[in-house]
Amino acid sequence: MMYFKRLNPYNYLLSVFMAVALLVSCKNIEKKDVTGLTDKPTGTHAVEVTMENQVFHIRQENLLSVKSTFTKDSILLLFRADKNPFQLNLNLTHTDILNMQKATFIIPDTNAGKIKVDLNFFNADRDVSRINKRVVFKKGTIEIKKLTENKLEMIFTGEGSGMTEWGGNFPISGQINATLNP
């Protein structure tokens, strides 16, 4: 027959305390990981976007080579980073921005007739159908403070929604301060 030693009350309390401390510390670690996406905007990133109560960042040093196309009067830019579920896509056509290097666009007015300015985002973690993981900036102001083949400084404020989510717009704001293909 096995012999079980009776636990001393102090050892029992110590064991319970250690188990509770371990559980609480694991929960705090989990919360820290989540708040990396939802903290307040800092302005220190190449790309920073606030939408759906989350802040998405892409740091300049993590920025993959910006996929860019600069032709006559078409500029296509894609900002992304490895292992980051968030991407930003900016397309400018027939805006004469290359000559001016700065401009302010009011959406949807600027796009009356032909789409000249297209700002959209991809969030792979968004809990919706695949097509609605692409969020379109549908209404607001886009101010390009500086655009050259090497630099983009831009701020935007407005609203948007998933590609096929009609009437469910939510606030979107952000900024880009990125060196293009350093």
Q: What is the pTM of this model?
A: 0.73
| Cα–Cα distance, 48 to 57 (Å, whole number) | 5
d(CA 140, CA 167): 15
In this prediction, residue 142 carries a pLDDT of 97
pLDDT value at position 4?
A: 46
User: For strand 74-79 and strand 67-71, is the pairing parallel, antiparallel, or unpaired?
Assistant: antiparallel
Tokens of 125: 């973690």
Q: What is the mean pLDDT of each run of 10 residues along the chain (182 residues)?
A: 51 47 40 35 81 95 82 86 95 85 93 92 94 96 92 96 90 95 66
pLDDT, residue 9, reads 55
The pLDDT tens digits for 11-44 are 544 444 454 444 444 333 332 233 234 344 455 7
For 24, half-sphere exposure in the C-beta direction (CA atoms, 13 angstrom radius) is 6
Read off the amino acid at residue 144: I
Q: Which two tokens stand for residue 96?
A: 């004469």
List the chain domain ranges. 47-179
> pLDDT tens digits, residue range 81-100?
999 999 999 999 988 887 88
What pLDDT was estimated at residue 69? 75
Tokens of 157: 């404020």
* Mean pLDDT for all residues in the chain: 80
What residue has token string 């319970």? 16
pLDDT of amino acid 123 = 96
Predicted confidence at residue 8, as pLDDT, reads: 55
Structure tokens at 177: 């301060």
Q: What is the CA radius of gyration of the chain?
A: 24
Token reading at 41: 């905007």
CA distances from 62 to 59, 151, 182 (A): 5, 16, 12
Measured CA to CA, the distance from residue 151 to residue 94 in angstroms comes to 20
* Contact (CB, 8 A) for 51 and 170: yes
